[in-house]
Structure 1
Amino acid sequence: MTLIRGTTKLLRLGVFRQPTIQPTVQGGRQLATNAGIKQTLPKEPFQQMDQRFQSFQLRGKVFAVTGGARGLGLTMAEALVEAGGEDRLPEPHEEFYTAQARANPNPQYGGSLHYHLLDVCDRDSTNQIMSAIADGKNRLDGLVAAAGVNHIESAINHSAADIERIISINYTGAFTSATAAATQMLNKQCQGSILLVSSMSGMIANKGMKTSIYNSSKDAVIQLARSFAMEEQHRYGRQRGNTITPMAKMVMDKTPGTKEIWESENMLGRLARPEEFRDIALLLMSNAGSFMTGSTIVADGGHTAW
């Protein structure tokens, strides 16, 4: 599904914390995401829910999701499809095809899932892809910028190439994707929302996680969202920008003992499940979040609250 939303409005930027991923199975149909993570689609399509929640519906809207081929990006993309949106993801993965097979033939949700191959570090290519997506249905309603990489290494051992790669994808890629999407939203006169996925590590230094460059890049993404929200609201008053901050399962795999440390340091005593971030993305991308912009949404089980 391509994440793009209606008439141009202030860029809304918020911060989303990447959850520590734990396999879970709930009522409904089981969904597979990256690293064998499982999610569930609700038994009832979103459109059949109480009419009091119409502001959460995305039927007819188009969105672009970078980093949506698998994992958290794909999880959020599927949530938008369920709400009736059309998502276009920049890179395919076997998990994407599984999700596409679930979403596209299902008329109950009214949404669809597609992909475009894209390097978010390539500004010209990103502009072209966003333009093609917007031209497809003459609209672009929003962007979820979830592309990102991490590199676990002590600060003194980071090479220049390591630093350039992390900053290029995590920060420059988010900037390029956001500006390309905002340009098309303005061209199509679509009011919409831009969501940048940051990390809890952009707010604190996580114990046992030697990722100084990654942390710095995610902190920069948070400030980027705020700055975009101010600039676009002042200039156009139509695009909203927000950020959310998730955790990376990769860190748990590469640093033994980190899972236990992080679980013991939040108020709920556990790590987040991927599906716990679906509704946050839906709130920020839909009209339900129309008064939210320049925000950082912290969903961390209380980790940063004490």
Structure 2
Amino acid sequence: MSPVLLEDPQAKTAPAVETKPQYSLDTVPNMLSLRGKTIAITGGARGLGMAVAYAVVESGGHVACLDLLPAPSESEWAGLQKLCKPRNLTATYAKCDVTSEAEMEEVINAIEQNGIENGAPFYDMVACAGIQQKVPALDYNSQDFERILRVNVTGAFITAKWTARKLVEKRRPGSIVLIASMSGNIANRGLTCSAYNSSKSAVQQMCRSLAQEWGQYGIRINTLSPGYIRTDMTNQLLAAEPEVEKIWMAGALLGRLATPDEFKAPAIFLLSEGSSFMTGADLRVDGGHCASA
């Protein structure tokens, strides 16, 4: 609740008036623009990360895609380069292991240097890298469980940390978006993925903790929690286990699963000045699954 200022009847001057940023002077398209910025995306070789890369370019930003794969999806990358050319923007790709402190530090330094050369400094990061594994809990090997946590939680932390260190070093505000999941809030019916669900819940809590520390530097950090997304990987799972699709669709309040493109606008909102007073929050885009759980 905003503070209420009461007039002092003994005062000789008018009471102070609380002020706020004059965003009314700007337009929504400008507030959602990423012009003059470079945005990095881990897990950017394909899938959701690649969809967000397209969104960044469509919003006027330069994009740096990072992934453990040696090269991005050939067809999607060609389309991204075609999108960049008429806009005079750049899309770069680098192989990077998000669980390696040394590799992340090196790649962030390179992205910063390229950004300066392009007149678009490094401001924002989307931590999209993650892995999944479907194993009954009674049979889960502890080393496999730890591997999920290492990539999904520690990798997200390392990504966020080196992004924040660069922004603090340059005295530059910025936005960090951690891709979590609705699975951080619920247990997925029809799936045995205790490690993945635990990791995404941890990412949501880590976001809140980092927001508490980094707000003093003007760094915002939020999570984006998708629901079920129809991709090649999920299509293979559902084809092999039709009963799982029936379970998922029973909780699909919109009668369908999501497509990667449906997370482009939410991601841009969290990266841009459109969400300038938002930090430590989770934006869940799940088609109503949690509402019906």
- What's the offset of the Cα at 1:164? 2.2
The answer to which of 89-98 and 123-132 deviates more is: 89-98
269, 275, 278: which one aligns with 1:292: 278
Aligned to 2:40: 64
76, 97, 102: which one aligns with 1:119: 97
150, 161, 165: which one aligns with 2:147: 165
Amino acid at match of 1:84: G
Amino acid at match of 2:220: R
DSSP 3-state at the match of 2:242: coil
The answer to whether the Cα contact below 8 Å between 2:133 and 2:193 also exists between their aligned partners in 1 is: yes
- What's the offset of the Cα at 1:242? 0.5
Q: String of CA shifts for 1:31-58, please: whole Å, max 9, x gaps.
A: xxxxxxxxxxxxxxxxxxx954211111
77, 85, 96: which one aligns with 1:105: 85
1:1-306 → structure 2 map (5 Å cutoff): 52-91=28-67, 92-93=71-72, 94-107=74-87, 110-138=88-116, 139-233=121-215, 235-236=216-217, 238-246=218-226, 247=228, 249=231, 250-251=233-234, 253-254=236-237, 255-306=241-292
For 1:103 and 1:197, locate their aligned partners in 2 and report how far apart those are by CA, in whole Å.
24
DSSP 3-state at the match of 2:95: coil
The answer to which of 94-103 and 82-91 deviates more is: 94-103
Unpaired runs of 5+ in structure 2?
1-25
Unpaired runs of 5+ in structure 1?
1-49
DSSP 3-state at the match of 2:253: coil
Amino acid at match of 1:280: P
- What's the offset of the Cα at 1:196? 0.2
For 2:76 and 2:33, locate their aligned partners in 1 and report how far apart those are by CA, in whole Å.
22
Amino acid at match of 1:289: S
The answer to whether the Cα contact below 8 Å between 2:225 and 2:283 also exists between their aligned partners in 1 is: yes
- What's the offset of the Cα at 1:229? 0.7
Query: Taking structure 1 as reference, are residues 52 and 122 closer, same or farther at Cα in structure 2, changes over 3 Å only?
Result: closer
Structure ranking higher in helix proportion: 2
DSSP 3-state at the match of 2:285: coil
The answer to whether the Cα contact below 8 Å between 2:164 and 2:219 also exists between their aligned partners in 1 is: yes
Query: Taking structure 1 as reference, are residues 101 and 132 closer, same or farther at Cα in structure 2, changes over 3 Å only?
Result: closer
Aligned to 1:26: none
DSSP 3-state at the match of 1:216: helix
Aligned to 1:27: none
Aligned-pair identity (%): 39
Query: Taking structure 1 as reference, are residues 266 and 197 closer, same or farther at Cα in structure 2, changes over 3 Å only?
Result: same
For 2:93 and 2:28, locate their aligned partners in 1 and report how far apart those are by CA, in whole Å.
32
The TM-score with structure 1 as length reference comes to: 0.78
For 1:215 and 1:57, locate their aligned partners in 2 and report how far apart those are by CA, in whole Å.
33
- What's the offset of the Cα at 1:100? 3.1
DSSP 3-state at the match of 1:298: strand
For 2:33 and 2:98, locate their aligned partners in 1 and report how far apart those are by CA, in whole Å.
28
The answer to which of 112-121 and 130-139 deviates more is: 130-139
Following superposition, which runs of at least 4 residues in structure 1 exceed 6 angstroms of deviation? none
Amino acid at match of 2:245: K
The answer to whether the Cα contact below 8 Å between 1:134 and 1:188 also exists between their aligned partners in 2 is: no
Question: Is the radius of gyration larger for structure 1 or structure 2?
Answer: 2
RCO comparison, higher one (Cα < 8 Å, 6+): 1
The TM-score with structure 2 as length reference comes to: 0.82
For 2:80 and 2:55, locate their aligned partners in 1 and report how far apart those are by CA, in whole Å.
12
